[in-house]
Amino acid sequence: MPETLLTYETPVIADWVDFNGHLRDGFYMVLFSYGVDGLMDQIGLDEAGREATGHSLFTLEAHVNFLREVKLGAQVQVYCQVLGHDAKRLHVGLALHIKGNDTVMAYSEQMLLSMDMGGPRASPFVPTVAARVQMLATAHRSLPRPAYVGRVISLPAAKTA
């Protein structure tokens, strides 16, 4: 499996499947959202960490690439790769896999923002969280940059005669 961080695992349930027999597009984002929750647990922003620090993460932007169909009953896993970070932001890539298979079924690139919930307002990561973010970033630095990072939605430019 990938050398990235496993942050969520679940079976695909019937309520998530559409009339075409595959996972509804909105539920891909639900899975990625739970994957971010798992990342938060790993960096010290689990329920206890949020309560102790008064900090959380908000999603600023998210892009999803739907690559392959995911069917009812599939055991799916979300893996997270830290792509970059600064004092307040965390740039991550989340890959959806079928358990035991290296094929990426869907990919989400996200920008997350550290928030002081007292405002709420953007705030630097608290030191313990910043250290864990740095540790993950260092561990992921040598991983290849996924092909789906930095993509833009557009139509090809029309050719003029």
Architecture of domain 5-140: Roll (3.10)
Question: Which pLDDT score, from 0 to 100, does residue 1 have?
Answer: 41
pLDDT digits (tens, 9 = 90+) for 58-76: 999 999 999 999 999 999 9
Cα(86)–Cα(22) distance, integer angstroms: 37
Cα(136)–Cα(141) distance, integer angstroms: 8
pLDDT value at 22 more than 70: yes
The pLDDT confidence band at residue 2, using thresholds 50, 70 and 90, is low
